Structure 1
């Protein structure tokens, strides 16, 4: 990928765009959860139907990944980000204007455009920042994902009490609108909206399709493990803690430490990779992740340690995956393909995490089997992740295309 670091005077503005955009990749989707009962009562639908408003976007992350790749390759990364931000605003409005049918349509639109953002933002980070800064900005990007989640989780219900649930869940899209205005101001109208395919390497350079590139599939497997483990434990950690005797409010507060740890882990991981190596980063994340299933299986009384260490690991896990996606040093065309494959498969597997752990807990009446499944997911992240990190230390001749 061509090294085109952003001009120093535009760096602060670009960072603002990245942070706001990242926050909008999760915030509007998860804004439904705090007011789910209110929405269900107003629209006269059950919890299962309301649950689709958070499940559909995750499925879109998988199904729409090929579309995201095609748009980035044909229109370029700048236009793809503009489409993401505009699509988030459009989907948020559609979701709030009418009944449950329009809410589903708006949610699908939101999920489709967020999928483009999932793929393109790491590409823009790699393109605009030098190699060392890109590690740090990837950490900032993934931390912003968690910041967006926490902001809407804390703010939606109080806002709903004042303006109603429709305005409450739609209002978060204002940050996407601000990011779009700043982005257009930074790039200019022509660059932000006129399709321009990203640069490719010289035609004489050796080319290998990402579909035939082994490390791409290993990285996809690692992200499957990371995403499954995160979504599954996030969904059921409060219940697991409740079964240990904590009240609902206490369990929710403890589970929040897991998310706070994620923000810190996202920012600390680049420090590890820059001072040591990507391989050490993967190893640290994997060991940290293992404390969650093993800790709750064998020493549940140390729940605070497992929530904090596991939180650091889950934040570092998604960061290290995005760092490795860009670490092959390929052009936008190739990186878009790799990112789409990795994220498409990862989110497809992740969507089953909460359902599978819940079903196993209900079937067994205990947490042993669900935690063993969580352990398998963590190992699925660790071993393929280590293999990719070793490949990056000793790359083969030629690069994936």
Structure 2
């Protein structure tokens, strides 16, 4: 099985970021669509993309795609796919489903038809009438969009945002994948200072540090496909060995997170330790109005409160004014702010050089990008280039 069609799913607005990550890993035939990036690879690509993709939600194996306007079409075309090449005799294979603007709009019925078709296909290979489903998990998704059915196997298991370091909860946490994308969309490089003045439990500074150290975000966790016979353990071992070899743990970083909440700063410090970043990321209690730096160049990257509750509105707008006033004194810096507040630019006091629509969960936001002058060219050729804007 040397050529496999894979899908890296992505939050709306992050598809181009994920596509760049996929290309940087050396994979070709990259196709960008809404909420997903399709590409080709081999079994080793399943390991490497799960370990390395920072902004993707999951990595899926694409088993097939076809039109179906009747249950009979869905059954016959599902049964024709090579399920037994992937699923062993004892595979557990739950069916997940969704249907958008399709004639086959009943998701439970579609799930039942797909399950029956897969079972019939496995019967042909394994010559048995009943399957125990007590082995490795192969979650199958049947996604219908405008009568086109896409059938996939989930190689990731838990979403890729679950790096493993954020074990304690906090209010309204930013997903690790979105935090990483915010950094990748900026002009920050490891030689520059990065400050998050609304750091909360520390996700943006931690993700920036992982990028700066070239640390594979999935190195500390496990994936569903690690139990699949078709993806040998030797491939996972090799991918992890490659990730450890490419890491730059001794690289010097200048990353600071600040907040006015001592409790969440305690969480941030704990999460940084869990991520192996003690001494690489620093946190302090500081109000946005007190933001300043002696460094001539740097990046502010943050996700301030949005003020969803009416009682918060005035306070939140005051925070944006404080941030804008602080940024005026840091005119050689760049500033990147993710917020759902529609009047952000007015309170910040300046129109953004660029805005990008992103989603924080189900909340539609804009990523406001203010570009400072470019610093002198870095002398370190190993430092990664900024993502395409």
Measured against the shorter chain, the TM-score band is under 0.3
Larger Rg: 2
Q: Please report the TM-score for the alignment, with normalisation by the length of structure 1.
A: 0.22
- Higher normalized contact order (CA 8 Å, seq sep 6+, divided by chain length): 1
Q: Please report the TM-score for the alignment, with normalisation by the length of structure 2.
A: 0.22
